[in-house]
């Protein structure tokens, strides 16, 4: 599978460009590699049902939110 560039957003909590997508559920092999490169955060396999559709989190300060349509982010 080809490496695709993952967008990072500026964190509203700390101001760093460190907000990346969160993968919830069973990750595949490529997801582990992307996690090691800091492109995504692996949140684990347990799903509670109240998670946002497209969660994002800051790798620096831990701020948590959701990616909205159009690429914007907001706090959950």
4: pLDDT strictly greater than 90 = no
Q: Which of 50, 54, 75 is nearest to 7 (CA)?
A: 54
- The proportion of the chain whose per-residue pLDDT surpasses 70, expressed as a percent, equals 92
Confidence label for 1 from pLDDT (cuts 50, 70 and 90): very low
Q: Rounded to two decimals, what is the model's pTM?
A: 0.81
Between 33-37, 47-51, 54-58, the lowest mean confidence (pLDDT) is in 47-51
Query: How would DSSP label each residue in 2-37?
Result: ---PPP-EE-TTT--EEEEEEEES---HHHHHHHHT
User: Residue 23's pLDDT band (boundaries 50, 70, 90)?
Assistant: very high
């Amino acid at each position: 599978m080809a490496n695709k560039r993952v967008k990072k957003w500026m964190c509203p909590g700390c101001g760093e460009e460190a907000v990346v997508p969160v993968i919830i559920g069973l990750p595949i092999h490529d997801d582990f590699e992307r996690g090691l490169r800091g492109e995504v955060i692996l949140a684990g396999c347990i799903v509670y049902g109240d998670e946002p559709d497209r969660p994002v989190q800051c790798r620096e300060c831990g701020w948590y939110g959701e990616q909205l349509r159009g690429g914007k982010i907001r706090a959950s």
